[in-house]
Amino acid sequence: MSLHCQDTQQLLQPYLDGEFDGDEKCALEAHLSGCKTCQSIAQAELSFRKAMRESLSTPPLPKGFRDKILRALDESDERARPSWGRRAAPLAGAFAVAAAAAFVFGSQVLWPVHDESVLVRDAVRMHQRNLPSEVSSDGLDSLFAGRMEVPVRPPPRLHGINADIKGARFSRLLGRDSAEVVYNVPGHRLSLHIFAAKSKVDTRGVRREKVGGRVFFVGQDRGYVVVYTQKNEVGYVLTSDMQAKQLMKAFAAELADPPTRQLPRHQPQR
């Protein structure tokens, strides 16, 4: 097989990338050895690759990043460990699980579990991912200022449950942009998504409940409680392993506050 310049130049890149062997390689090398033009193009290609490798240094991993990944893996292991609320019990165990749930929640039985609720599934998924915050409570103003469709500043304080704002990030929930605020509540983690709810949120598969004069939608999945409510076309989704009643009560009180009042800042938890 003998090659012309045009063929050679077309095959030059895969050749230089080491993709050819046998006949193709021999034919290319035979042409290159006798053709100055193709040789100089090959030389130019090689010099470009070298220049690229030398000028694009690999950036170092951000400080503490590997540890962050290891912690995320720990949490993933933790979640994968079988427990009554986390791993779906096969049919034989279903009744035992139901009984345990009823016992644990007493009068607040959150039953049945609706796997079909998009709202619950999405909220729990985001809560479990526990992605890093972009800012601590001090940076909330600058992070969300003018960048969200809905008012986020100041974020709800949730004093009723001793919540402390841990941080916040831009996020997505139900296919909408949201501001995700993460709180530390003694013994629990709580995340709150705030988003524009001009279009209706799909509340199929969740229970409707009225607490403190406010309508909430409540669901549960994998041991987490998800509570949704809205006010003035702003949607709020709370996800936590706390009790639903407690969350609804605190949040109903929160939204009853005059929205324009300047609220004190919180210190991030160390």
Query: Which residues of this chain interact with another protein, rule CB under 8 A?
Result: 9, 13-14, 17-19, 37, 40-41, 43-45, 47-62, 65-66, 68-70, 72-73, 76-77, 129, 131-132, 134
Q: Shortest Cβ distance from residue 72 to another protein (Å)?
A: 6
Nearer to another protein (CB atom), residue 23 or residue 77: 77
Q: Shortest Cβ distance from residue 47 to another protein (Å)?
A: 4
Q: Shortest Cβ distance from residue 261 to another protein (Å)?
A: 32
Q: Shortest Cβ distance from residue 124 to another protein (Å)?
A: 15
Nearer to another protein (CB atom), residue 48 or residue 111: 48
Nearer to another protein (CB atom), residue 39 or residue 243: 39
Q: Shortest Cβ distance from residue 157 to another protein (Å)?
A: 26
Q: Determine how many CB atoms are found less than 10 A away from the CB of residue 233.
A: 11
191: its two tokens: 């995340």
171 and 130 Cβ atoms separated by less than 8 Å: no
Peptide bond into 264 cis (omega under 30): no
Nearer to another protein (CB atom), residue 47 or residue 142: 47
Residue 63 parent element (H or E): none
Nearer to another protein (CB atom), residue 65 or residue 111: 65
Q: Determine how many CB atoms are found less than 10 A away from the CB of residue 57.
A: 7
Sign of torsion over alpha carbons 211, 240, 127, 257: positive
What gap in Å lies between CA 181 and CA 198, rounded to an integer? 20
Peptide bond into 112 cis (omega under 30): yes
